[in-house]
Amino acid sequence: MLGDVTQTTDTATRGASEAPGRPSRPRVRRVHRAWIVAAVTFVTIIGGAAFNSLPGLLIDPLNREFGWSRGEIGLAVSVDMALYGLTAPFAAALMDRFGIRRVVAVALGAVAAGALGSVWMTASWQLMIYWGVLVGLGTGSMALAFSATVTNRWFVARRGLVTGILTAAGASGQLVFLPLCAWIVAHHGWRPASVTVALAALAVVPFVWFLLRDHPADVGLAPYGGTYEEKPAPARGAARRTLRVLADAARTGPFWLLAGTFAICGASTNGLIRTHFVPSAHDHGMPITAAASLLAVIGVFDIIGTVFSGWLTDRFDARRLLAAYYALRGVSLLFLPMLMAPEVHPPMVFFIVFYGLDWVATVPPTLALCREHYGDDSAIVFGWVLASHQVGAALVAFLGGVARDTFGTYDVVWYASGALCATAALMALVIRRVRTP
């Protein structure tokens, strides 16, 4: 791998030297700048994803302190998730217009403002503003469309692998912040945990501003594995372009199949496990810190599974990979209600490991299919597909809380989500292939 990273720098240098009016340069073996940009992107996503560790941990504390129902709290989380998804396609277009650095720096500021503002809230509508609107807009601007934009601009080779690595950054943030925030909530309350998240978001801003670059041409390089190209002019009319791309994609069948499967992906991960696993385990007598630690373990294996999925996507049919991922996820959810207990036992550990490997393994093949069908517009199309992911997550975040208030248990939610995953597996298989000449 390191050999590939350094070797292709020669190609980049050749590409740059072949650009009109550019002097020849000697070949130098060094790490390609694209990998530095990818590393900064990884750290940025970790910092922005810190907030995603909080909702599942704070449902019970907010319920006790303010008397808000799980449905009310779940509604605020659903607003956050919906805006996260709906912002993503516009953020991709805004990055084309104003540059990656500016958009991401502002987004991190929005996350920090929302997390800090929640410390002083006293009413549920304020939870909607701080958690739902500010954090939703901020995290949505650093959603997977951010990863797609960086990957498309800086990489020609290894796109599947890089997509898997950057997708795993969200899980890495979960791995870092979930145990920390759970400990803070248990020993010091939920407000210091919110402050911690705000500081994490602000700490990443200098890395973005000083180390991230918008385009390889900014530093006189070709993309990794490609040839030198001049930086395109800023794309004006970002909102108009985003809506035009949606209108064009909506006329095609693959878009609706990808959006439908990804909506189920969001429903069965962010909306279900990330939001409701900790309170569900707590219902069965498991301590919050133990349940949060299990979610952190999901983050460990999520990194492995997503990177491996990126490697597989470079080599195998993305449709078949998606079908396998969704089918296996659905089966595991059907068994989860039987595994809940006051203590962590081996079958639950097996579920956590298995679910972690499958958590966002769906992203590399989904993004690959977007590239295959929509070419240069694939980052924006993927942003809309991601919007469906978050709408699905938002619905289950809200409906899961309502179901718990109504039935006194989460069991019906686990079973319904398992059935949805089986549907997604069938939908993935009918996505048509693009025949290349």
One DSSP character per residue, 250-301 reads TTSHHHHHHHHHHHHHHHHTIIIIIHHHHHHHHHTT--HHHHHHHHHHHHHH
Report yes or no: 201 and 134 within 8 Å, Cβ to Cβ.
no
Q: Give the pLDDT score at 424.
A: 93
Q: Which residues pair with 155 in a beta bridge?
A: 224
* Contact of 421 with 329, CB cutoff 8 Å: yes
Structure tokens at 22: 């550019």
pLDDT for the residue numbered 91: 78
Helix, strand, or coil here: 224?
Answer: strand
CA–CA gap between residue 305 and residue 310 (Å, rounded): 9
CA distance 424 to 356: 18
CA distance 361 to 164: 8
Note whether 143 and 163 are within 8 A (CB). no
Q: Note the pLDDT tens digit of each residue in 177-215.
A: 777 887 888 888 888 988 888 888 888 888 888 888 877
Question: Tens of pLDDT along the chain (437 residues)?
Answer: 444 554 444 444 444 444 455 555 555 457 778 888 888 888 888 776 667 667 767 777 888 888 887 777 878 877 887 787 777 777 777 787 788 888 888 888 888 888 888 888 888 888 888 888 888 888 877 766 677 788 888 888 877 778 777 877 766 676 677 778 878 888 888 889 888 888 888 888 888 888 888 778 877 788 887 777 777 776 667 678 778 888 999 999 899 999 999 999 988 887 888 788 888 888 888 887 788 788 778 877 877 887 888 888 888 888 999 999 999 999 989 988 888 888 888 888 888 888 888 877 888 899 889 888 888 788 778 878 888 887 888 888 888 888 888 888 888 888 998 999 999 999 999 988 766 54
Alpha-carbon span 126 to 123, nearest angstrom: 6
Q: Provide the 10 A C-beta neighbour count for residue 320.
A: 13
76: left (phi over 0), alpha (psi -120 to 50) or beta: alpha
Closest CA to 246 of 119, 368, 374: 374
Long-range CB pairs of 191-194 (<8 Å, 24+ gap) are 191/119, 193/54, 193/57, 193/58, 194/54, 194/115, 194/116, 194/118, 194/119
Cα separation, 331 vs 422, whole angstroms: 8
d(CA 224, CA 154): 6
Burial-class residue 216 by CB neighbours within 10 Å (0-12, 13-18, 19+): buried
Nearest to 44 by CA among 136, 160, 137, 169: 169
3-state secondary structure of 437: coil
- The answer to whether 242 and 152 are in contact (CB under 8 A) is no
Beta carbons of 213 and 104 less than 8 angstroms apart: no
Helix (H) or strand (E) holding 420: helix 411-429
In degrees rounded to 5, what are phi and psi of residue 155? Answer: -130, 135
pLDDT at 9: 44
> Can you give the pLDDT at residue 238?
67
> Which residue bears the tokens 């993309």?
223
Q: What are 286-315's pLDDT values in tens digits?
A: 887 788 788 778 877 877 887 888 888 888
For residues 333 and 417, the answer to whether their CB atoms sit within 8 Å is yes
Contact between residue 96 and residue 235 where contact means Cβ atoms under 8 Å apart: yes
